[in-house]
Chains A and B, each alone.
Chain A
Amino acid sequence: MCTGNVHTAKISGAGKGDGGWFPLEKASVTYDCSYHTSMPQGLNIDFFNEGMGPGARVAVELSPASAMGLVHAIMESLAKGGLDPGRVALEAAEAELRGVKSAQAASPIS
């Protein structure tokens, strides 16, 4: 890639690909050269299930403005559904921290 601008997230959910619906476990977000539109750069989002091979993927390539629009739409949708996006993120971080602590307790470092 030409920009090196890549971020990944662990996700849970399902996506629809060539072979129908499959569970998702990871998403990568990259801002890189656009190969499918006339935009110089695009915001690529790939949803994966790596255990199912490279073909288990749902992909989009968005203009920067529409990517921002999507972010707002997701936030608004979560908020309207009674979910505070900040609280959801905090709870996820706390759950991860609890997992780390319990793993440490199970195998204490001597």
Chain B
Amino acid sequence: MQQYTTDMYQGMLAETIAIAGSGGTLINAYLARPLGPGPFPGMVLAHHAPGWDEWYWEAARRFAQHGYVAISPNLYYRLGHGSPEDVAAKARAAGGSPDDLAMGDLEGALRTLKAMSVGNKKVGIFGTCSGGRLAFLAACRVKGFDAAVECWGGRVVMAKEELSPNFPVAPIDYTAQLSCPLLGLFGEEDQFPTPAQVAQHEAELKKHGKSYEFHTYPKAGHGFFYYDKPMYRQEQAVDGWKRIWGFLGKNLGS
């Protein structure tokens, strides 16, 4: 984690770029990185169901502020363009972005970060809500991540009747393939995932001897990081971010 003091230079570059997503298709993505030669660790940000939106662009800049090169790919790129909320509604009507497509796009962001000259070749993945689910899934299915942060990933545990051609396998069933340490942050009052589902998720990690840290916050439900929504919980969010910086510093440091 970059610790700035008041006598240090600070600078950041943040812009929309194009990356090769699933199947090599060019998709747009938001990049934020500290200025300077680096080397900086990288972070892929898997956006949430409300879309590729301002919260995620701000989150990318937050990661850059803390010394990471962050890329958040637009996982809804193929649905057309409009306000993030309108495009997200279109994705919602389709039940979300198909898992295979999202994996390809997140892998594209990973490859872009690994190829950057300012990178330290270590890359993590972060996501909240359905993006938390995708972060965990990518950490299992895509090789090359060095750390994963899953924030309240709904539908990591899925009943058989929830499976479909777009979501053919429950992420929890990939646990044996998890290839990096995992940090999970959850709210005790959340219903997607419920505490029972989080316990099931944890039991599976334990069974397969995976490296993980789970923290479940009392008096917090779903989306407790979202400072622009009624679900925001200040104390829990501040502690959650501290844990993220500690976890990433340990696993992605040079």
Contact = CB atoms under 8 A, between A and B. Distances in A.
B238 interface: no
A57 B49 contact: no
Contacts of A46: 89, 92-93
Contacts of A40: 189-191, 221-222, 231
B49 A2 contact: yes
A2 B192 contact: yes
Contact of B93 (A8, A33, A38, A53): A8
Interface string B155-196: 100100010000100000000000000000000011111000
What class of interface size applies to chain B in its complex with A?
35 or more
Contacts, number: 88
Main secondary structure on chain B at its contact with chain A?
Answer: loop
A56 to B, nearest CB: 8
Interface in A45-73: 46, 48, 50, 53-55, 57, 59
Contact of B86 (A8, A33, A36, A54): A54
A46 B191 CA distance: 23
Contacts of B207: none
A41 B191 contact: yes
Contact of A33 (B95, B133, B222): B222
Contacts of B93: 6, 8, 26, 28, 30, 46, 48
B82 A53 contact: yes
B154 A2 contact: yes
Contacts of B226: 35
Contacts of B149: none
A3 B82 contact: no
Interface in A1-44: 1-4, 6, 8, 26, 28, 30, 32-33, 35-38, 40-41, 44
9 contacts: A1-B49, A1-B130, A33-B222, A40-B189, A40-B221, A40-B231, A54-B83, A55-B82, A59-B89
Given A4-B95, A4-B162, 20 more contacts: A1-B95, A1-B96, A2-B49, A2-B129, A2-B133, A2-B193, A2-B222, A4-B155, A28-B89, A32-B49, A33-B49, A33-B129, A35-B226, A40-B190, A46-B89, A48-B89, A50-B90, A54-B81, A54-B87, A54-B90
